[in-house]
Structure 1
Amino acid sequence: MKFVRTKSRLLHIVLLSGFFAILGSTMGKSPTLPLYAQSLGLGRDEIGLVAAASTVTGIVVNLASGILSDVYGRRKLLKVSGFVFLTAPLLYFLANDALTLALVRVYYGIATAVFVPVSFALISDMYPDRRGTFMGFLSSATLVGRALAPVLAGSIIYLLGFSVVFVLCSATGLVVFVLAFRLPAPGGKLERFEFSFSGSLLLIGLLDAAVYMAYQGIETFLPLFYYLQGKAWLSGLILSLEVGVMAIVKPYAGYLSDRVGRKKPIIAGMSLVGAAMLTFSVASSLPLLILGAVVFSIGASLSGASTKPLATEISKLHGTALGFLESIKDIGQAAGPIIIGFLGFRFGFAFVGLFGVAVLMVFVLRFKVGDL
């Protein structure tokens, strides 16, 4: 009984950490970053490069942090993440041009790139038989933080200015840093690190990359649909609806994944993501656009709730596997707006959807039903 209470307490610590980590990091980015950069006199091209800085950091750091957590333990890496969450927002006060602001974003990006794969690896360690369900709870905790952050940050900027936002972001980082010390010490260091490249793991990473390619494309270009131009509040409402649906569906999708296996939810989820992207490519009315956003949210939740636990079942090095997935995902997230920007709405969204379906077909051919 004492073991169950301890496990439950640790779960609450991880969920709270996830909420505050993503709340603070998102507040420092949306809508704070472009507005603050504009106040420093940066042009649109410079703002775009600064915004991409943290994503580029993630591509490299995700895998490294996963590997280090397998070798040295989850708690040490989460302490590092908490320290960066605490200190990075305060460095905004020192930024006065594009270069220094980009360097702040690179440093800030380390926090999320360490926290996400390591925290999910910790959940996988704690709940080997129900990892889909509890990874879903952690995803929901981070999504709630992500949904609240833009409204909170935007209101504070309007009423009190940027400085208060930076201090508040640092305060959320302090919470994450303190909570990391409440986690148990690792039982021992890994004696020997062995990780062989897995084509199956790459394929799972490409599934996540396709989802986030679509997600970032929607987030970037939704306000530019002609019937949403000049209605920033409406595009923001649709994006909040999208995140809200994902936050609600993720735990149920994880539970379903634990019950029926990983393959079926991935097939259903990626099919819905593909359908949603095709809907965006032909959307000619607001109801169709909203339908696409809801369908995408459900599909992304179904797929994402299965890919992470599946990766930890393929590799015994949970941190390394999840770090690898996050790195591939970040590449897709960075590529989404570029692809849609070059190809246009009709062909860009359709291409992203077809890419996801193509990866899904390879996934189905590679894995037999009985394997998952």
Structure 2
Amino acid sequence: MNLRDTAVARAFVPERRMMYYLFLLGFFSIFSTTISKNPVLPLFSQAIGADSTIIGLIAAFSPLAGILFSFPVGVISDHIGRKRLLVASGAVFLIAPVLYLFITAPLWLIPVRFFHGTATAILGPVISAVIAERFPVTKGEMLGQYSSATLVGRALAPLAGGAIISYFAMYPGLLPYRVVYIAAALAAVPVFIMTLLYTEKQSLPLDTLPFCVFRESFVTFFSNRRLRGTACVDMATYFAFGAVETFLPLYLFSLGIGAYQTGIIFAAQVVFIAGTKPFFGRIADRVDKRIQIVAGLAITGGAVAGIPLAVSFAQFFLVSAVFGIGMSLSTVATSAYVADVAEKEQIGASMGALSSIMDIGQSGGPLLTGIIVTMVGYIAGFFASCILALIVCAIFILSVREPAGTDPKNEGQAP
């Protein structure tokens, strides 16, 4: 090995360590927050006296934190640095599961779920900004690999939570549920430690931010047609995701498909998203991200439209897998495209705005689809997501098209 190769190898070591650090942080944080809600939250809520309305209200308050805080958090991270916010997020991950242990009335779950939701509201945009800054050339691939690490945690958490509840089912009272929240707190310990160990490249002073900073960042993001169009894509994608996650199990049950098979259908979706995101991330670093975004959203919308056409377990399995592929294809490219388009000093704010709008879509999907299903039926409810996806595809194409005489390299290509 010559001197040049040795220098390259030495330079690669810190990047590889950062890569492993991010993957472990993403895995443990999402495992901890997911095991706190799936499947334990509705069961725990019911056990302490919550009815269906209260359970739905409790479930809505976690994504509400993302809607409210992701954008301000992104702005703050651009001005005071990422480390302080990562530590704050780690502290919430650690403290929140402990609070569930003291709850005996269902309404107290509302503020606790909101508080717990701030953990991911902070972590998401900050980690996306860290990846965009630390891996400018391979950010698409890194965003995909980080997302896959979180999806592994998201997939394993319900299995672990269900196993704990089943093992302690013979014990009286709320003990089975409280053991799950103890497990969530233990999983959050490495999250908090890792946020403390994060080393920032440049330490920024802790200054009070005037309101005009948030207003300027908001105006900067939403006045940029490309950022605006990309945010609409994530909104439509997660609108469909929320609708499918909420109403596909009910639709399958109405067709006589059992819970076990329903679990396999949704597991296929997670596996395909987690398995394809690193690959699609590498593609996003090498091709025009706009094409990948449009293709992914179109596939996602087509898969949702295919749900009412499926009649057998195998067909639903295929539709779920295609939905996962479409979602993976578009979402890994949207984050990378926003990092390309956003100004360097606005990356955190842009990632935060993207995350907030994503949460709006994920919250709005079940709500609006539920209204349509109640009024018209499941077929119309699923087709609504498809129609929205097609409309947003057109909006995105118009938003990111190149005016005559512009350099295409400035429109979404990796630097």
TM range (shorter): over 0.9
Change in Cα spacing, 1:139 to 1:347, as seen in structure 2 (3 Å) is same
Equivalent pair of 2:304/2:386 in contact (CA under 8 Å): yes
Residues 185-204 of structure 1: pairs in structure 2 closer than 5 A: 185-189=200-204, 195=217, 196=220, 197=222, 198-204=224-230
Equivalent pair of 2:229/2:399 in contact (CA under 8 Å): no
1:3 positional shift: 3.1
Structure 1 or 2, whichever has the larger Rg, is: 2
Structure 2 residue 331 is the aligned partner of structure 1 residue 304: yes
Structure 2 residue 388 is the aligned partner of structure 1 residue 325: no
Equivalent pair of 1:227/1:286 in contact (CA under 8 Å): no
Structure 2 residue 346 is the aligned partner of structure 1 residue 313: no
Deviations 1:52-85 (A, max 9, x none): 0111111001111111111111111111111100
Deviations 1:182-240 (A, max 9, x none): 22134142899553133322221111111111111111112212456572122112111
CA distance in 2, matches of 1:159, 1:100: 27
Q: Aligned AA for 2:247?
A: F
Aligned equivalent of 2:286, options 259, 271, 277:
259
Count of residue correspondences: 372
Query: Which TM-score applies when normalising by structure 2?
Result: 0.86
Change in Cα spacing, 1:108 to 1:229, as seen in structure 2 (3 Å) is farther
Deviations 1:245-270 (A, max 9, x none): 10000000110011112111112111
Aligned equivalent of 2:262, options 220, 235, 241:
235
Q: Aligned AA for 2:188?
A: G
Give the structure 2 partner of residue 172 of structure 1. 187
Give the structure 2 partner of residue 105 of structure 1. 113
Give the structure 2 partner of residue 12 of structure 1. 20
- State the secondary structure of the residue aligned to 1:260: coil
CA distance in 2, matches of 1:212, 1:319: 21
Aligned equivalent of 2:250, options 219, 224, 241:
224
- State the secondary structure of the residue aligned to 2:108: helix
Equivalent pair of 2:308/2:379 in contact (CA under 8 Å): yes
Equivalent pair of 1:73/1:186 in contact (CA under 8 Å): no
Structure 2 residue 367 is the aligned partner of structure 1 residue 338: yes
Equivalent pair of 2:39/2:158 in contact (CA under 8 Å): yes
CA distance in 1, matches of 2:261, 2:190: 33
Deviations 1:142-167 (A, max 9, x none): 11111111111011011131122111
CA distance in 2, matches of 1:230, 1:253: 32
Change in Cα spacing, 1:38 to 1:230, as seen in structure 2 (3 Å) is farther
Q: Aligned AA for 1:355?
A: L
Q: Aligned AA for 1:322?
A: M
CA distance in 2, matches of 1:350, 1:331: 19
Give the structure 2 partner of residue 276 of structure 1. 303
Aligned equivalent of 2:81, options 64, 68, 73:
73
Give the structure 1 partner of residue 153 of structure 2. 145
**Identity of paired residues, percent?**
35
RMSD, aligned α-carbons: 1.7
Q: Aligned AA for 2:27?
A: F
Change in Cα spacing, 1:363 to 1:252, as seen in structure 2 (3 Å) is same
Give the structure 1 partner of residue 238 of structure 2. 212
1:287 positional shift: 2.7
- State the secondary structure of the residue aligned to 1:259: coil
CA distance in 2, matches of 1:61, 1:135: 21
Residues 156-167 of structure 1: pairs in structure 2 closer than 5 A: 156-160=164-168, 161-167=176-182
Deviations 1:12-35 (A, max 9, x none): 111100000001100001001001
Query: Which TM-score applies when normalising by structure 1?
Result: 0.96
Change in Cα spacing, 1:229 to 1:219, as seen in structure 2 (3 Å) is farther
CA distance in 2, matches of 1:166, 1:354: 40
Give the structure 1 partner of residue 6 of structure 2. none
Give the structure 1 partner of residue 52 of structure 2. 44
For structure 1, list consecutive stretches of 5 or more residues without a partner in the other structure. none
Q: Which moves more between the two structures, 252-261 or 179-188?
A: 179-188
Change in Cα spacing, 1:64 to 1:58, as seen in structure 2 (3 Å) is same
Aligned equivalent of 2:137, options 85, 104, 129:
129
Structure 2 residue 61 is the aligned partner of structure 1 residue 53: yes
Change in Cα spacing, 1:134 to 1:228, as seen in structure 2 (3 Å) is farther
